[in-house]
Amino acid sequence: MKAARVAAVFLSTVLLATASQATTQLLLSRDAASSNHNTEYKGVVELTVNPGFDDAKVTILLDGQKLADNLRSPYRVTVDFGPQAVEHKIWVQALSADRKRVQWSETINRGLLPLSVKVKAVDAAHGFFEALATSPKEDPITVVELWDAGTLISSVKEAPYRITVPPAVLQTGFVQITARTKSGEEAADFWSAAGDVHVESVEVRTVPIFVSVVDRDGTTRVDVDRSAFRIMDNDSEATILEFGKAFDQPISLALLVDASGSMTYELPNATKAATGFVQRTLRATDRCAVFAIRDVPRRMQELTSDKMSVEQALGSIKPLGQTALYDAIDTAIRELKDEKNRRAIVILTDGGDTSSMASFEDVDRKAREAGIPLYFIAYDTGETEQDKDLDRLRYLATQTGGFVATASQQNLAARYGEIEKDLRAQFAIRYQVTDYAKHNEWRKVRVVLASPKLTARTIRGYFAP
C-alpha cells in the first residue's frame, strides 16, 4: 500500500526543464559502471540518461510505472522521490535513429525498503500467521498488530512478527494485520480463507452498499479516500466500480415512535425531537413515513415528500397500550422494501417488545433480507428496564449498518442529530464480485479500511439473487 502511494508521487511529479531545483544528480549510463549504490537518493533528484549513442528516443520506467516516454536529448528529467530514501528499480529503454534498441536497469537505494506488510499463513488451520514487514531504516517498525472489526486483538513488537489468531477470529475466515512505524505511519494487509478455495463456476454481479466510517472516538468521518476501502464479499475481494458521497442521493425514511402507555409523559418531548430531525434532514427529493408503536402498529403517514404532512403526523401521535416493536419494524420494512432510494428506519423506543405477533428471529431475517439500516434511540424514561433489550437492538443495528444511541430527555435531540450526521456522511459504493454463488445464498460483506483507527459500518451481508 505504501509502495503504491510512492509510485503515485512519481507519476504525479511535474517534469522540470531546469536543473536548478535539483539537489542530487543521478546518472544512468549504459556503457559506464554505476556508482549510484554509494548514494542515497531522496527528495528532488535530477535524473540523466546516457544511452551510448546520439539522436535517441529514451523511455524511463520507475518501479514498473512509465515516468518519461520518447524523451529527446539531453535525456533529463527531474523527479521528487519523497522525503525518505527507499529502494526503487529504474528501467531505461533507448531507440536509435536506425531502430537499434537497447535497454538496461538499475536499482537505487538497494535494501532501503518502503513501509509494507504482507500476511503469510504458516498454519492457517491452527491460527499460526506471520507478517512480513519492511520499513525505511530511519523510520523503523515499532509494532505489528492483529485487528478484528476495529478491535485490537494482539500485537508483536519484534521480528519475526509471528501471531497466533484466536479461534473466534479465525472462524470469520478473515485476518487483518497492520504495521506501524516510529513516526506513526501505518500499512495494512489481510488474509482471507477464500483465497485458496477452488470453484467450478463463477458469476459476475454488482452490489450497491452504503458505508459509514467512524474513528475511535465514535466520530463520523467524511474525509476518507476511496483508496482506503477494500471490500470482501463472502471472503473474496471485490472490485470497487463506483464511489461517492451518499448525501447526493435521495433517501426514503421510516420514523417509528414508541407510543405505548409507558411513554405517556415523554411523548411530547419525543415527537418534538423527531420533528426537529425531519426539519433538518429531509430535502425536497426525500420521502418519509411515520409509524406509531402500540399494541398494533399504526401508520400515521404513508411515504411522502411533503414535510408538513410528516410533521403533522408526528404531532398527532397519542400514547396507548403496549409495545409491538417487532411488528412495527416489520411493517416499516414492508413500506420501504420496494423503494429505489437510499433507505433507513429510525426507531425511538423506551424498552423491548411486549406484544408483537412477529418474533425477534422474524425481524432479524427480514431486516437482513431488505438490507435497510436500523437506527435505534433507546429512550430512558426511568420507568422500564432496558439492559436486557439493548443487546437485541444492538444486534439488529449491527447486522444492518445502523447503531444504537441511548438517550434521555436532556439529550434526545442530540441523539437524533447523530443519526442525521451519519446519514449525511455515508459513502455510496457499487462493487463487482466474481465467484461462485448459489441462488438465495447468504453472502457476508465486510468493508476493510487501511487504518485500524477507522471502522466501517454497513450491512453484514445479503442474499444472492
- Of all residues in the chain, what percent carry a pLDDT higher than 90? 38
pLDDT value of residue 279:
93
Query: What does the domain layout of the chain look like in residue ranges?
Result: 2-108, 116-196, 200-465
- Please compute the mean of the pLDDT values over residues 234-238 and round it to a whole number: 84
Nearest to 221, CA basis, from 460, 458, 459, 455: 455
pLDDT value of residue 374:
96
Q: Is 290 in contact with 318 (CB distance < 8 Å)? A: no
pLDDT value of residue 289:
97
Q: Is 79 in contact with 13 (CB distance < 8 Å)? A: yes
pLDDT value of residue 40:
83
pLDDT value of residue 139:
85
Question: 141 vs 178, 348, 364, CA distance in Å?
Answer: 11, 47, 43
0.85 cut: is pTM over it? no
Class in CATH terms, 116-196: mainly beta
Secondary structure class of 446 (helix, strand, coil): strand
Q: What superfamily does domain 2-108 belong to in CATH?
A: Immunoglobulins (2.60.40.10)
Question: 94 vs 10, 45, 88, 98, 334, CA distance in Å?
Answer: 20, 21, 20, 12, 67
Whether 116-196 and 200-465 share one fold: the answer is no
Q: pLDDT (tens digit, 9 = 90+) per residue, 17-43?
A: 333 444 688 888 877 656 667 788 888
Q: What superfamily does domain 200-465 belong to in CATH?
A: von Willebrand factor, type A domain (3.40.50.410)
Q: pLDDT (tens digit, 9 = 90+) per residue, 326-364?
A: 999 999 999 998 898 899 999 999 878 888 999 999 999
Of 205 and 197, more confident:
205
* Predicted confidence band of residue 287 (pLDDT cuts 50, 70, 90): very high
Q: pLDDT (tens digit, 9 = 90+) per residue, 391-447?
A: 899 999 999 999 999 998 899 999 999 999 999 899 999 998 877 667 788 888 999
* Predicted confidence band of residue 16 (pLDDT cuts 50, 70, 90): very low
Angle subtended at Cα 199 by Cα 198 and Cα 205, rounded to the nearest 5 degrees: 125
- Please compute the mean of the pLDDT values over residues 93-107 and round it to a whole number: 86
Q: Please determine, for residue 240, whether its predicted confidence score (pLDDT) is greater than 60.
A: yes
